[in-house]
């Protein structure tokens, strides 16, 4: 049964934005500590402590049985990697996805970090995936459709020779982490759910360097590319408005940290 789309009031959106910004600050904590030699489990514990210290609760932990605060997906892992004993190594890329619940609203944002010195083609994948996110966001305006977002993302990714994951998609976000509508990263202009003022969406391109095909590992969570090539993932929360979209989450806290570390290339 299709659930109806929950349109949020400006007051609701202001609360959701607080949650989204806390995710950005949590990811900045990850940025501060991510380096060769650090385990994904250490980053997860740090993030949980930071979120709770800020009066919120981790948004993923316990949801659908998720055991962790962060989902950390390294190299050929696309999304839903579970933090643990894995030690990050020089040259890795790690998508870190984080959700929080505060004041009744979820924030949900993801950033793909470079660990140490990353190969040029992988840097390029990260750059293009961020561009895909930006192009998708620009389409998230009232009276457009979800297909306009997906089309913009798909076009830019495929123009660069990359694969667009089909099995996992963006979504509405609000009082629940996953609300309708689905927001695929592929699609046709003018198709899909109509966008209305007050809808809040999580737009999250998952772009593979090689094939678009993915599979799930035996842990029942981790999604990896079928060809073993790297994948990138960036996610923002946006409110649909007339003639524009309002980005509620931010990477600016992350970028401030990365600049100070001399690690921002984009
Ligand atoms: Mg997410
Ligand atoms: Mg999401």
φ, ψ (nearest 5 deg) of residue 209: -65, -35
Q: 224 lies in a domain?
A: yes
Q: What is the pLDDT of residues 210-228, one digit of tens each?
A: 999 999 999 999 999 999 9
Q: Is residue 110 part of a domain?
A: yes
The pTM of this model reads: 0.97
**CA of residue 100 to ligand 2 center, whole Å:** 11
The span from the CA of 179 to the CA of 9, in Å, is: 16
The confidence score (pLDDT) of residue 42 equals 98
Rounded to the nearest whole angstrom, what is the distance from the C-alpha of residue 235 to the centroid of ligand 2?
Answer: 7
- Strand 163-164 to 93-102 pairing: unpaired
**Encoding tokens for residue 187?**
């699609």
What is the distance between the terminal CA atoms of the chain, rounded to a whole angstrom?
42
Distance 193 CA to ligand 1 centre (A): 21
Indicate the number of domains in the chain. 1
Q: How confident is the model over 33-66, as pLDDT tens digits?
A: 999 999 999 999 999 999 999 999 999 999 999 9
Residue 75 is part of a domain; what is its CATH number? 3.90.230.10
Arithmetic mean of pLDDT, 124-142: 98
Q: Is residue 5 part of a domain?
A: no
Q: For the purposes of burial, counting CB atoms within 10 Å of the CB of 189, is it exposed (0-12), middle (13-18) or buried (19 or more)?
A: middle
Is 3 inside a domain boundary? no
> Is 208 domain-assigned?
yes
Query: Looking up tokens 């993915």, which residue turns up?
Result: 214
Is residue 69 included in any domain, yes or no? yes
Residue 109's domain comprises: 10-261
Specify the pLDDT at position 1: 45
Reply yes or no on whether the pLDDT at 209 is more than 80: yes
């Amino acid at each position: 049964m299709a659930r109806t789309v929950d349109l949020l009031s400006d007051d609701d959106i202001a609360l959701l934005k607080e949650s989204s910004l806390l995710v950005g600050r949590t990811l900045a904590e990850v940025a501060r500590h991510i380096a060769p030699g650090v385990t994904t489990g250490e980053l997860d514990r740090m993030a949980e402590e930071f979120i709770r210290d800020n009066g919120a609760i981790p948004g993923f932990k316990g949801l659908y049985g998720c055991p962790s605060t962060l989902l950390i997906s390294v190299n050929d892992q696309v999304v839903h990697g579970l933090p643990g004993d894995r030690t990050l190594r020089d040259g890795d890329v790690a998508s870190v996805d984080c959700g929080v619940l505060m004041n009744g609203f979820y924030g949900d944002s993801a950033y793909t970090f470079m660990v140490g010195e990353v190969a040029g083609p992988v840097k390029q994948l990260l750059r293009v995936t961020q561009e895909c996110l930006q192009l998708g966001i620009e389409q998230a305006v009232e009276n457009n459709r979800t297909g306009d977002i997906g089309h913009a993302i798909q076009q830019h990714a495929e123009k660069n020779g990359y694969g667009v994951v089909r099995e996992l998609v963006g979504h509405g976000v609000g009082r629940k982490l996953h609300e309708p509508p689905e927001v695929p990263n592929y699609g046709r202009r003018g198709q899909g759910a109509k966008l209305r003022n007050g809808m809040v969406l999580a737009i999250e391109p998952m772009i593979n360097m090689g094939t678009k095909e993915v599979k799930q590992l035996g842990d029942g969570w981790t999604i990896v590319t079928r060809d073993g090539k790297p994948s990138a993932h960036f996610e923002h929360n946006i409110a649909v408005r007339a003639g524009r979209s309002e980005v509620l989450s931010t990477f600016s806290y992350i970028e401030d940290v990365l600049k100070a570390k001399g690690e921002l290339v984009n």
